[in-house]
Structures are given as structure tokens and as C-alpha cells.
Amino acid sequence: MHPIKHEIQKAERAGYAIGAFNSINLEWMQAILRAGEATGQPVILQTSVPPVAYMGGLGLVKSLYDHLLEALEISVPVALHLDHGDAETVRQAIAVGYDSVMFDGSHLPMAENLRLSAELIELAQAHDVLIECEVGSIGGSEDNIYGKGEIASLADAKAMADLGPDYLAVGIGNIHGRYPEDWPGLDFDQLKILKQGLGDLPLVLHGASGIPDDQIKQAIKQGISKVNVNTECHLAFSTAMIDYVHEFESHKEDYLNKKYYEGRHFLSAGYQAVEDKVKERIELFSRI
Ligand code: 13P
Ligand code: ZN
Ligand code: NA
């Protein structure tokens, strides 16, 4: 059994959650792994499909990940997870050795989502890979994933749970990316119904960026065991790099003399901001 399976089950029993953070490049991969190590908490490094293409493919991401675990001497339990995979990418991620995959069939008719989920759960289990499926849908759009934000019904959730996924993403009013001003908040009544009906199956909260901390904590208390974060890391990354550019402009002669125009100086500013953000979120999710 992969160590992260044990960690997810432990979190579900004890009532805290493991953070899962999306990555787009080498700097973010390092930032996420280092943040896990620095906090002493398990962490999931995840990649959704367009960033995988941007980074050079699943195989390249997997080898970078393996090298980083050694180079950074990572000792906390960590996993490499495919986020919002289509069926074909899920099959490929399993083949290249990802530890965990998500099959997102939320845009399909439920019967089709169940049929493909069943097939992929069987494949994942045969390879000792964890698998996350989804019921209801996450609102908004991100990385070519579009959702209407349907609230998951207990009937659909039970039908999916019966297939035996390791964790289940549920639509409970959560949205990818930023939240509108008039967002009514998470549907805690439905989360309660789902958790009561599903027992110890770990549930996943997508779209965590922009949800107030008290609602995130409440959701974790009510049975969320994995929390997905992406947009907040992008905002931290871009804000830090924009600040760097402003500093550059206002001390131009000095920065040019010090060769601060070299790309790694720009990226380092963003890299550090992502690491700080991931640490802060891990602290929130793990201390409920
Ligand atoms: P946010 O971008 O809203 O944090 O959502 C992340 C997510 O759900 C990744 O799967
Ligand atoms: Zn998501
Ligand atoms: Na969000």
C-alpha cells in the first residue's frame, strides 16, 4: 500500500486534511516538497493535464519528481497525483508510475462517469495506484476543466463509493479559481448528508482558493480529508514576481550591475512565495 493511502485514512479518522497543491514547473515542485518537509506534514504534489503538457509530459514530470525526492532528502510521506485526468491521461499516468490519479468524469452523464470510473478503479488497483473520482461538479473553470457546480447527491455518491475509489471529490458549492461576490458559501448540510451516508470514505474539497479559512476548517471537521489548492499559489507567485519587477525598475542601475536580470532571480522571488503559501495552507489543514 502506498504510504499516502495510510496518511489519508489517518487524516479521515483524526479529522484533519492533507493539502494537495498543483504544480506548473520545477520551482513549484521544489516549493511544494520543501514546504511538506519543513512542516513535517504529508503533502500531495499534483499536476493537471495542460501543465503536464507545458512541463514536457507525464514521464518527465515523474522523473523530475523522483530525482527531487532524493535531492531534497524528502522524508515526510508525499505522493505524485494526476489532477482532473481524462480516461486516457489516467491510463498513461498509471503506466509511467504516478502514485495517485484523479479521473474526472463530472462532465459526463452519471452512467458513463460510473462506467469509466469502474474501469479505471480496477486498473489503478491492479497497479497499486490510488484513485480519486468525482460526483457533482466543481463550478468555474481552470486548466480546461469547466463545471456547472452541481451539488453531489447522496445517491450518486453512494453509487460511486460502491466502486471502491480511495477518495471522492464532491461538488458542494465549491468553485475553481476565484469566488464571485455573491457566493452563498459551501453547502454544509449536503456535506453532512454525504459524510453520514458514505462512512469512512475520505472526501476531497476542490477549489479551496478563495474559501474563507473558517469554512475550510468547518469542511475538514465535517469529513474533508484532502484539500486542493491551485489559484492561491498562482496569485502568490505572480504577485511576488511583479513586486520583483517593480524593485528592479526602481533600482535599475544597481540591479543591472548585480546581474539581477538573470532569470533565476525573477523566478526565485516567485518560488519562495509559493513555498510560503503552501506552508501556510498545510498548517491550516493539518491543525483543526
Ligand atoms: P483552486 O484553484 O480554486 O484552488 O482549485 C484547485 C483545485 O481544485 C485543483 O484541482
Ligand atoms: Zn479541482
Ligand atoms: Na477556488
Return the closest-CA partner of residue 68 out of 39, 98, 101, 32: 32
Contact 31, 123 (CB under 8 A): no
In a domain, 265, yes or no: no
Contact 26, 51 (CB under 8 A): no
Predicted confidence (pLDDT) at residue 288 exceeds the cutoff of 90: no
pLDDT the model gives residue 147: 87
Mutational test site, ligand 1, from 83, 206, 233, 274, max ligand atoms within 8 Å of CB: 206
Span 162-184, pLDDT tens digits: 999 999 999 999 999 999 999 99
Atom 3 (ligand 1) nearest CA: 207
In a domain, 249, yes or no: no
In a domain, 239, yes or no: no
Backbone angles phi, psi at 253, to 5 degrees: -60, -45
Q: Mean pLDDT over residues 40-47, rounded?
A: 98
In a domain, 117, yes or no: yes
Predicted confidence (pLDDT) at residue 76 exceeds the cutoff of 90: yes
Q: Mean pLDDT over residues 93-122, rounded?
A: 98
Predicted confidence (pLDDT) at residue 88 exceeds the cutoff of 90: yes
Domain that holds residue 173: 3-231
pLDDT the model gives residue 134: 98
Arithmetic mean of pLDDT over the chain: 97
In a domain, 171, yes or no: yes
**Residue 23 CB–ligand 1 contact under 6 Å:** no
In a domain, 247, yes or no: no
Is 162 an annotated catalytic residue?
Answer: no
Number of domains in the chain: 1
The secondary structure element, H or E, covering residue 80 is: strand 78-85
pLDDT-based confidence at residue 207 (cuts at 50, 70, 90): very high
Within 10 Å of residue 18's Cβ, how many Cβ atoms? 27
**Residue 190 CB–ligand 1 contact under 6 Å:** no
pLDDT the model gives residue 145: 81
pLDDT the model gives residue 148: 86
State pTM to two decimals. Answer: 0.97
Span 213-255, pLDDT tens digits: 999 999 999 999 999 999 999 999 999 999 999 999 999 999 9
CA atoms within 13 A on the CB side of 61: 31
**Residue 142 CB–ligand 1 contact under 6 Å:** yes
In a domain, 52, yes or no: yes
Cα separation, 98 vs 79, in Å, equals 8
pLDDT-based confidence at residue 262 (cuts at 50, 70, 90): very high
Q: Mean pLDDT over residues 58-71, rounded?
A: 98
Predicted confidence (pLDDT) at residue 70 exceeds the cutoff of 90: yes
Q: Mean pLDDT over residues 74-91, rounded?
A: 98
Predicted confidence (pLDDT) at residue 77 exceeds the cutoff of 90: yes
What's the CATH number where 83 sits?
Answer: 3.20.20.70
Q: What percent of the chain has pLDDT over 90?
A: 96
pLDDT the model gives residue 72: 98
Ion ligand 3, residues whose Cβ is below 5 A away = 207, 209-210
* DSSP states along 138-181: -BEEETTEEE--PPPPHHHHHHHHTT--SEEEE-SS-BSSPPPT
Q: Mean pLDDT over residues 248-263, rounded?
A: 96
Predicted confidence (pLDDT) at residue 141 exceeds the cutoff of 90: no
In a domain, 252, yes or no: no
